[in-house]
Amino acid sequence: MQQPTREELLAWDRWHVWHGFTQMAEYEPLVFMEGQGCRLRDLDGRWYLDGVASLWCNVHGHRHPRLDAAVRAQLERVAHVTNLGASNVPAIQLARRLAQLAPPGLEHVFFSDSGSTAVEVALKMAFQYWRQRRQPKPGKNRFLALAEAYHGDTLGSVSVGGIELFHQIFRPLLFECFRAPAPDTYRTPPGVQPDELCAYYLQQVEQILQDHHHQIAAMIVEPLVQCAAGILTHPPGFLRGVRELTKKYDVLLIADEVAVGFGRTGQMFACQQEGVTPDFLCLGKGLTGGYLPMAATLTTTEIWNAFLGRYEENRTFFHGHTYGGNPLAAAVALANLELFEEERILESLPAKIARLQEHLERIGGLPHVGHVRQCGLIAGIELVEDRASKRPYPRSERRGWRVCLQARTEGVFVRPLGDVVVIFPPLAILLEELDFLCQVIERAIAAVCP
């Protein structure tokens, strides 16, 4: 087959490929050809530092020899088999490894293929659990979620989502849920002091649980930081408080660690930062180190037991994805987890997190930076027109986007969330690379928001 020319590729990309979260009328192609370490090379041979970890999933860099080899080795055996009523060796090993690494008690692993489906699975299991457990509570058929929540783009995960811009238009298609305020530490409720924020937001959650727990199957949260909401970092203690409240009111807790799992916050899982074991742990993005689509929903034996019975009792979880537990993905996920140990990734993080913090303190001094937020190796820099009143820029000015375009000219690839510039590099990023990333972003902000 003849290779397409550069011009053909750009034209076909504009016309045939419908890109996610992208206004196609204005799309300017950026086509990557290859990657190495934390860098990516485009069609024209320009290299960029991958400051978004290829949308929050790359962990050890691109083309890591161990990960490449894991895929190749599995290819020598089999690329795919179903996991409906059958299994494969790497998926079994991966399930066991995840159960060992997760907070204690999460021993049963349901594989799917994206973060959205990992969430769908948790929602459906929670719902079905209350109908099938020994003392059923079928009235518990609704969910509690946070404002500004993002849990994926399928309709169930959009139903628990709370980002107006993305989710509002689909409301007629969605199920309704209870909603507590996002534990925002920047735009805080009037009259509440910083040290009272955690208690204030927990009180809001408790009010809803108190009034409606008979109807609530589960509460879903992104532990520690709501990423897609604009890197909204929660007050410390909020997650632990939510766990205590959900226990008190007999409501299940779904922790969506699709973004924050796998070392992002400084520990393997964000829940571990506050000693929390949820009833469901949703994993995705970093699970395969950013190599192949795979996700997992982990749960407890209490939940698992409610689904057991003879075939004709119909207690089965009637849900399954064609590529769930895909052996290639499972093999590379296993290698990803091995690399965490071999390369002592978690031990390497405190120095990087501290270095990122130094840069953020400096960037926070720029005249149009309203707030900088950090959780581990995740950071958000919020641009505002006026710092004193926290007044945002008009949306039409697209400051966040322009900062990212400016950074590209200096060889850094980042994506904003509105006017929040996001820093979310592979965990393997070197300190020098982190310096470069932050310095380029600082210059870009200074240029676009003088």
Ligand X SMILES: *Cc1c(COP(=O)(O)O)cnc(C)c1O
Beta strands (DSSP E) in 192-327 are 216-221, 225-226, 232-233, 252-256, 280-283, 295-299
Contact 229, 256 (CB under 8 A): no
Beta strands (DSSP E) in 376-436 are 378-383, 412-413, 416-417, 420-423
* Minimum distance from residue 21 beta carbon to ligand X (Å): 10
Comparing C-alpha atoms, which of 428, 251, 260 is closest to residue 348?
428
* Minimum distance from residue 114 beta carbon to ligand X (Å): 4
CA distance 364 to 380: 11
CB-based contacts of 448, cutoff 8 Å, min separation 6: 399, 402, 403, 406
CA distance 112 to 124: 13
> Looking at beta carbons only, is 58 or 132 nearer to ligand X?
58
Is there binding between residue 228 and ligand X (CB under 6 A)?
yes
Comparing C-alpha atoms, which of 50, 36, 35 is closest to residue 440?
50
Comparing C-alpha atoms, which of 142, 161, 97, 134 is closest to residue 298?
97
Q: How far is CA 56 from CA 115, 415, 423, in A?
A: 12, 11, 10
Contact 294, 113 (CB under 8 A): yes
Binding mask 280-309 for ligand X (x = CB under 6 A): ----xx------------------------
Is there binding between residue 110 and ligand X (CB under 6 A)?
no
Is there binding between residue 58 and ligand X (CB under 6 A)?
no
Of 74, 112, 114, 132, the one binding ligand X by CB under 6 A: 114
> Looking at beta carbons only, is 285 or 359 nearer to ligand X?
285
Q: Which stretch binds ligand X (CB under 6 A): 7-15, 131-139, 253-261, 409-417?
A: 253-261
Is there binding between residue 116 and ligand X (CB under 6 A)?
yes
* Backbone phi, psi, residue 383, to 5°: -90, 135
Under DSSP, is residue 223 helix (H, G, I), strand (E, B) or coil?
coil
Under DSSP, is residue 10 helix (H, G, I), strand (E, B) or coil?
helix
> Looking at beta carbons only, is 57 or 369 nearer to ligand X?
57
Is there binding between residue 162 and ligand X (CB under 6 A)?
no
> What is the total count of residues that contact ligand X (CB under 6 A)?
15
Q: Which stretch binds ligand X (CB under 6 A): 45-53, 68-76, 114-122, 166-174?
A: 114-122
* Minimum distance from residue 119 beta carbon to ligand X (Å): 6
CA distance 242 to 221: 9
Beta strands (DSSP E) in 51-180 are 108-112, 142-146, 178-180
Is there binding between residue 222 and ligand X (CB under 6 A)?
yes
> Looking at beta carbons only, is 249 or 291 nearer to ligand X?
291
Binding mask 175-214 for ligand X (x = CB under 6 A): ----------------------------------------
Is there binding between residue 325 and ligand X (CB under 6 A)?
no
Is there binding between residue 150 and ligand X (CB under 6 A)?
yes
Q: Which stretch binds ligand X (CB under 6 A): 46-54, 99-107, 132-140, 145-153?
A: 145-153
Under DSSP, is residue 143 helix (H, G, I), strand (E, B) or coil?
strand
Q: Which stretch binds ligand X (CB under 6 A): 64-72, 109-117, 370-378, 433-441?
A: 109-117
* Minimum distance from residue 152 beta carbon to ligand X (Å): 4
Q: Which stretch binds ligand X (CB under 6 A): 83-91, 111-119, 314-322, 384-392?
A: 111-119
Residue nearest to ligand X (CB): 115
Binding mask 255-284 for ligand X (x = CB under 6 A): -x-xx------------------------x
Is there binding between residue 115 and ligand X (CB under 6 A)?
yes
Q: What is the CA radius of gyration of the chain?
A: 22
Give residues in contact with ligand X (CB under 6 A): 114-116, 119, 150-152, 222, 227-228, 256, 258-259, 284-285
